Every structure is written in structure tokens, then in C-alpha cells.
Structure 1
């Protein structure tokens, strides 16, 4: 079996991370993989924010926790020390699909490089706030973007999750 297919079958979401930071060189390779995701009409209308600054990471986690309605102190990023936030231009009809493909590339690349990941939602709500819009402006992003997802990155703290049995009757052949 090819390495790509094996990675697709073996990658799992991790929900407990060690505090150890992923090396910048590896984060850059993961982010680069996101640039090669397919996109509607080849628009490449997605951007990524690579977040390793602990103060900013913790601010985003707090906002995400509040949006999700969890109790104070809950970390919706499960302790992951790094994240890549995927956003897509609001005026692009395929933005959610394009951003989802970027997220898939990020998680598969991370797995290939020995880094664990988890897709965390609520980026849309975060970047609809004034804080989110101001963060983008501070980075020189002037157009309107919609948050698609956060790719939480780090190293699993504990056993790696096992795959659930695949459900039957999910493929229908039309010949």
C-alpha cells in the first residue's frame, strides 16, 4: 500500500497533547502542504495563520471555550502547543470545501511528519468578532475571510487512538 493511503488509514485525532513545541521546520512543512490542497476553479482563496505564540494561543483557546459554552478552564485545543488556523475568502462560493481540503492536507502532512493533530471548530465564530477582524488587519489581511477550522498540532500525551471499525453499507456501486 502506498504511504499516502496508509497515512489516510492510520491518522487519528488526538485529544491530549504534551506541551512540547513542534519544531518550526516541521510546522513550515505542514503549512506548505496546505498550500497544495485542491480548490474550486484553482482560486487558492484560503489563508493560514500559524500560531505558536503561547499568549495568542491561549487567547484563542479562551475565546473558543466561551463560544463552545464550556466551563472556564477547559482547553478546547487539548493542550496542543501550536495551531494552524484556516480561513477562506467570504465571497468565494467554495470557501468551506476549499478550506476543508486544506485542513485535510494539514492533518495528513502532520501525521506523515510524526506530529499529531485534531480539527477544532468555531473558527468561523472567532473571526466574526471584532477581535478576529482586528487580528487579521494587524497581519495585513484586508479582505473579508471566514474561519474554517483550527488544526491543533503537537505530540500525543498517552496512547495513540485506535481506529473505529468502519461502518458497513457506505459504498454503492453504479455500473
Structure 2
């Protein structure tokens, strides 16, 4: 099995992280994987915000927890977050943003890093506080939050989970 397929097949989500931030080169490579995801008609509507500022990571985590009505940390203590957004003017924006997220998760795993897709970005960036953040970050357009790619050095074994069977039908 080649290395790309091996990383995809073995990938596992991480829910416990060391406090150290990833190196810039590691973050850049993960983002590059997202930037190179397929997009409908090559519109490349995905946008990425790399957040390594601890106060902003905590703020985003608290906003995410607020959407769920909980007090915990839905980011599992990850020190770094890549916010994935997509421009809704593209008919395939949701799929394009999701493909970018998948590429980044697979890239992180292939590098021996922990990563996990955290939802509720849509709700956060549809709200006034989220819109204010986008403006402060210099992002314009009709953007929708696709997800949060939390990343970091894993503080747990990354073990491949069993897959549910019976999900494939072959038609000859």
C-alpha cells in the first residue's frame, strides 16, 4: 500500500494534545494540503485562518461550547486551530470546504500529528460575534464556516478504529 493511501486508511482523530504549538513549517504543510483540495470548477472558494494565539483559541473554543450549551473545551486542549471557511457564491462551497478539511486531517496524520474536525463553525460565523471576527481578520464576502481543524502534537496513541461493515454495494 502506498504511503498516501496508508495514511488515509489508518487515520484516526485525536482528542488529547500536548500544549506545544506546531512549528510554522508543519502548519504551512497542513494548510497547503487544504489549499490543494479539489474544488468545483476550480473556483478555490475555501479560506483558512490559522489561529495559534492562545487567547483566540480559548475564545473560539468557548464560542463553540456556547453553541452546544456546555462549559467544557470542545477543542480538546489543542493548541492550534485552522478555521475553514468557504465562499457561498460557489455552488459547491460546502463540498469544497469539506474536501479541504479532509485533506488537512489526512496530511496532519501522515506527519504524525493529531487532528480532529470540530463542527459548529457555521453557527459561530453566522452570528454577530463571528462576523466581527471575520471582519477583524480582514475576511470579506459571503463566507460560511465549514469547520475547525484542531491540530497539535498528540498526547495519546493514535489508533485506527474498526470500520462499520456493509456500507459498500458493488454493481457488476
Please give the TM-score of this superposition, normalised by the length of structure 2. 0.95
Which residue of 1 is the match for residue 105 of structure 2? Answer: 107
Residues 119-166 of structure 1: per-residue CA shift (max 9 Å, x gap) = 0000001101122112212222221100000000012222323322x2
Residue 174 in structure 1 maps to residue 167 in structure 2: no
1:20 alignment partner in structure 2? 20
1:168 CA displacement:
2.4
Q: Secondary structure at the match of 1:20?
A: coil
Q: Which residue of 1 aligns with 2:148?
A: 150
| CA deviation after TM superposition for structure 1 residue 112, in Å | 1.5
Q: 5+ residue gaps in structure 1?
A: none
The correspondence of residues 23-172 of structure 1 with structure 2, limited to 5 A, is 23-70=23-70, 72=71, 74-164=72-162, 166-172=163-169
Following TM superposition, by how much is the alpha carbon of 1:54 offset from its aligned partner in structure 2, in angstroms? 0.5
Kept in 2, the 8 Å contact 1:87–1:147? The answer is: yes
Query: Structure 1: how far apart are the matches of 2:135 and 2:118?
Result: 23
The CA RMSD over aligned residues, in Å, is 1.1
Residue 134 of structure 1 aligns to a residue in which SS? helix
For residue 3 of structure 2, what is the aligned residue in structure 1? 3
Unpaired runs of 5+ in structure 2? none
Separation in 2, partners of 1:63, 1:169: 38
Q: Secondary structure at the match of 2:76?
A: coil
Secondary structure at the aligned position of 2:66 is classed as helix
Counterparts of 1:169 and 1:140, CA distance in 2: 46
TM-score (norm 1): 0.94
